[in-house]
Structure 1
Amino acid sequence: MSYHHLTMSERECILRMHHNQKDITQIAQTLGRSKSTISRELHRNTGRTGYSAHEAQNSYTIPRQACKPHLKVMRPERQKHIISGLEQYWSPEQIIGHHGMSLCTTTIYRALKNGWLPTVLREKLRQQGKSHKAEGEERRGTIPDCISKGKRSTEAAARSRVGDWEGDTVAGKC
C-alpha cells in the first residue's frame, strides 16, 4: 500500500468543497481519496477561522524540510575550504587532510556531480571519480541482430526450409 501526500491543489479543492457545505464522503470521492484522509486533514488544519489550504500546506512543508538531513558539504565554512582547495588543484583527499574535515572524498565528487558546488570546479579535478554506466536497456542474455518470432516471415514461421528449425533450437529466445 502506498501513501501519497495531499498536494496544494487537492487542499484547495478541499477548501472549496468544504466551504460549499459538501460532506467528507463527497470530497473524498471527488479527489479519489479515502474518507479518513479528508477527515484527518480537516481535523488537523481547521482553526477558529475555518480550514485554510495555505496554512495546511505550510504545516506540512515546514516540519518536512526540518527533518531532512543537512548536507555536510552545504555548510558555508566547509564549502569555502573545498572551493579554495579545488581552485588550487588539490585532490579531495588533500582537501580533507589539510583542513581535518570529517568528510568522505566521495561526498566531494558527488557534490560536484549534483551541482551542490560550482560545476566549473569539476575541470580542476585531476581525476574525475568513478565512471558510472549510463542507465539504459539491459543487454545481457540477448542475441544481437535477432528477429523476434512475431516479426518473422510466414515461411520462417512455418519452418518449412532448412535452417528455420535449427535457428530456434540453437539460438534460444530473442
Structure 2
Amino acid sequence: MEYDRLRASGVRQREAAALVGVHERTARDWDRGIRKSNGARLHPDGRRIDYKTGVTTTSAASREPSVAAVEAELHHRFLTVAERELIADLRREGQSLRAIGRALSRPASTVKREIDAHSVEGVYQPHRAQRAWAKSRPRPKASKLATDGPLRDYVAHKLQQQWSPEQICHALVTEFPDDESMRVSPETIYQAIYVQARGGLRREVAAALRTGRTRRKPHRSPDQRTRRFVDEMVMISERPPEVADRAVPGHWEGDLIVGTRNESAIVTLVERSTRYVMLGHLPGGHTAEEVRDVLVPLIQTLPEHLRGSLTWDQGCEMAAHKQFTVSTGVPVYFCDPHSPWQRGSNENTNGLLRQYFPKGTDLSVHSPEDLEHVAQQLNGRPRKTLGWKTPAERLRDLLTTT
C-alpha cells in the first residue's frame, strides 16, 4: 500500500495522508493497524466495531491475539516479528547483546529486556514473544452503555425527556449516591449517541438531543486554525509581488529532506531566480533550534543584497523563525497547508537530491564536504529554465554586476 511505503521511507504522517488523499484521522488509524471493512473498524487486537450499531465483537474472545494483531507492524519503537527472529538467530550464534543491538539499530538494554522477558529455560522464543506483545497491547473495555441494564435504561429515559448528558450525569450522583455502578460521564453518553447516529438510529437520536444533531459540531469555524507557532507566521499571501515573479534575485525557498526514522536531515535552500542550491548538515536531528543554528550561518555566507526572503512550509522545524529573522534580517514567509507547489523550485530540487540521498537512508553518514560536493554538482548542471545556463553561472553574473 502506497501509504505504508511512504511512512517506511520517513514521510511524516500528515504529509503521507495528503499524498494518498486520505484524512489525517484515517492515516492515524492506519498507523495503529486499524482498517475499515464492510461498515466496521477492524482493530489489530481482533476487535470489530460496527458503525451502525456501535457493537464491539472480539475474535476468539481475548484469550489469544488474532493473526492480524500478531503480524501488525506499528510504530518503529516496537520490535517486529522479523527483529525478534533475528534476535533469536544471533543469540544462537553467541553474539553479545551489544552486537545484536547494533544489528537492530536498537539499544542493548532493549535486547536484554526482550530476552529476559521471553526466554524459556534460557532459550529466547521469538514467536512466543510476538504473541505476548500482541496480547498485551489492547486493553478493551466495553462502554457502560453498550449493554442492557439499569444505567442504560436510566440514561435512555432521561434522554427521551430532553435532558442533556451533563444533567443526566449529575442526576445519577444525586439519585444513586451509594451505587458506583450508576455513574457515567457526559462524554460516554455523547459517544454512545454519536456512534449509533452513524447507522439506523438517526430519528431516535434526533429526538433525543435538544439540538437535533446527529454529529458533533465544532465550536470554532472550520476556517479558523490554531496558531502553529508561538511567534505569529507571516503567510505567503503577504509576500511582496516581486518575489513571486522571480524578477528580483535573493529570495529563497527552503525545506528539509529527512533520513530514515526521521533521525537525520539536510537543509535545502534554493534561490528562486537562479535556482542556486545551498545545503546544510543536520546529522543528529532537526529540532527548531538545530535548524535555526544551521540556517543562520548558511544565509550569512551570502552578500547582503542576496538575503531577500525565505519561504518555508509550516513544518515544526521552523518554530524559531523569529529568532532566525532577528539574526539574519531575512523575513520568513509560510506556505498554505498542503500546498507544495508554492515552493515549486525547492520541491523540484529535493527530487534531484534524492538521486544522491535516497529515501529511507541514514543521512548522518554524509559529511558537510559531501553535501558541498553535491551542491556543486547541482549548481553546475545547465537548466532549460535558465536558457541552458547553470545556476552557478547565473549567480556569478549577479555577483559581478552588482
Task: Give TM-score scaled by structure 1 length.
Answer: 0.56
Match of 1:26 among 99, 117, 134: 99
Matches of 2:115 and 2:145 in 1, distance apart?
37
Matches of 2:157 and 2:198 in 1, distance apart?
14
Matches of 1:6 and 1:131 in 2, distance apart?
38
Matches of 2:197 and 2:93 in 1, distance apart?
51
Higher helix share: 1
Match of 1:104 among 185, 189, 209: 185
Moved more, 94-103 or 9-18: 94-103
The offset of 1:42, in angstroms, is 0.9
Which residue of the partner structure matches residue 154 of structure 1? 247
AA aligned opposite 2:116: H
Higher strand share: 2
Checking the alignment, whether the CA contact within 8 Å between 1:28 and 1:35 is kept in structure 2 is yes
Which residue of the partner structure matches residue 297 of structure 2? none
Aligned-pair RMSD on alpha carbons?
Answer: 4.5
The offset of 1:38, in angstroms, is 0.6
% identity of equivalent residues: 20
Pairs aligned (count): 154
The offset of 1:56, in angstroms, is 1.6
Match of 1:119 among 173, 179, 198: 198
Which residue of the partner structure matches residue 4 of structure 1? 77
AA aligned opposite 1:154: A
| Largest Rg, 1 or 2 | 1
Which residue of the partner structure matches residue 77 of structure 1? 148
1:98-148 CA-to-partner distances (Å, cap 9, x unmatched) read 8974222232223444x4x56324562332355255598657765684336
Matches of 2:233 and 2:239 in 1, distance apart?
15
Which residue of the partner structure matches residue 55 of structure 1? 128
Checking the alignment, whether the CA contact within 8 Å between 1:85 and 1:95 is kept in structure 2 is no
Matches of 1:25 and 1:173 in 2, distance apart?
45
AA aligned opposite 1:119: R
Checking the alignment, whether the CA contact within 8 Å between 1:27 and 1:38 is kept in structure 2 is yes
Unaligned runs of 5+ in 1: 158-171
SS at match of 2:106: coil
Cα pair distance change 1:11/1:105, threshold 3 Å: same
Matches of 2:82 and 2:161 in 1, distance apart?
48
Matches of 1:135 and 1:33 in 2, distance apart?
43
SS at match of 1:11: helix
Checking the alignment, whether the CA contact within 8 Å between 1:112 and 1:122 is kept in structure 2 is no
Which residue of the partner structure matches residue 131 of structure 1? 218
Matches of 1:13 and 1:82 in 2, distance apart?
55
AA aligned opposite 2:198: T
1:25-55 CA-to-partner distances (Å, cap 9, x unmatched) read 3321121101121122112211127221232
SS at match of 2:103: helix
Moved more, 81-90 or 99-108: 81-90
SS at match of 2:133: helix
Unaligned runs of 5+ in 2: 1-75, 177-181, 251-330, 334-402
AA aligned opposite 2:238: C
Matches of 2:158 and 2:85 in 1, distance apart?
48
Task: Give TM-score scaled by structure 2 length.
Answer: 0.29
Matches of 1:30 and 1:135 in 2, distance apart?
48
